[in-house]
Amino acid sequence: MIIPAIDIRNGRCVRLLQGDFGAETVYDRDPVELIEKYVSSGAELIHIVDLDAAQTGRAGNRSLILKMAAASASPVQVGGGIRSAADAAELLDSGIHRVVLGSVAMKQPDVVIDLVNVHGAERICVALDVRPEGDEYRPVANGWLSAVPTSLKSLLDFYVKYGVEHVLITDVSRDGAMSGPNVELYRQIVADYPQILLQASGGVSSQADIDDLRRAGAAGAIVGRALLEGTVTLEGD
């Protein structure tokens, strides 16, 4: 499944290169009209990120994101700056189908498990952003600005043990670069953790990339820049 990504910063649709807030491309697209376009083209799920909240921890685009979700006939998952159970519950109670938890998932895993127990595994997605470091992948948090002193494997082991189903993994070294996704990383994760529904993110630039991720066993591919620039279309899914 192709999952369109709409990143919001200062109320505008943008894309960052490798998570760098100083390497921003602004797209002249109305966010509400864009989500309606994606849904009318067949998107079954929309992924929205509040980049201001990811950077500061404050929900700078909350009202716009709720307006976008209200305009979407397909479910919406939202991430960026959700740092507490109260933040997550507020979004879920406001009509957001699923919350995407990144920094809190890496630093306060018990909060995530409590949310799964209260709201159900379908409504919670653990987002693990990683950078390659030698032969391993080091998780990063707070808008990709800080490293986390734990391993990707230990986080996945924990969340699978406690019933998390939806996991989004981004190789941030590829994000926004349209250089191709890290297919080998995703293939290995699917092989090691077949019980999760993996959303692969970072580097998708073509339909061939989508096909590679499907063969690797990913349940979905997060696609941002490639959809905005037309190198991938929803009709091709």
**Mean pLDDT score across all residues of the chain:** 88
Please tell me the predicted confidence (pLDDT) of residue 21. Answer: 53
Domain spans of the chain, in order of start: 2-236
**In this structure, are residues 60 and 7 in contact, taking their beta carbons and an 8 Å threshold?**
no
Report the pLDDT averaged over residues 121-139. 88
Confidence check: pLDDT of 97 > 70: yes
Question: Using CB atoms within 10 A of its CB, is residue 107 exposed (0-12), middle (13-18) or buried (19+)?
Answer: middle
Q: What is the pLDDT of residue 144?
A: 47
pLDDT at 30: 93
Which residue has better confidence, 96 or 237?
96
Residue among 87, 129, 171, 212 flagged as catalytic: 129
Percentage of the chain exceeding pLDDT 70: 88
112 vs 225, which has greater pLDDT? 112
Catalytic (active site) residue 7: yes
Residue 20 has pLDDT above 70, yes or no: no
* pLDDT the model gives residue 140: 78
Token match 């529904």: residue? 197
The architecture of the domain spanning 2-236 is: Alpha-Beta Barrel (3.20)
Rounded to an integer, the average pLDDT of 9-25 is 67
Chain segment 177-208, per-residue pLDDT in tens: 567 899 999 999 999 999 999 999 988 999 99
Instruction: Indicate whether 143 pLDDT > 60.
Output: no
pLDDT at position 131 is 83
Residue 87 annotated in active site:
no
pLDDT value, residue 54: 77
Residue 237 pLDDT grade (very low, low, confident, very high; cuts 50, 70, 90):
very low
Q: What is the pLDDT of residue 122?
A: 98
pLDDT tens digits along 23-71 = 556 777 899 999 999 999 999 999 999 988 877 666 679 999 999 999 9
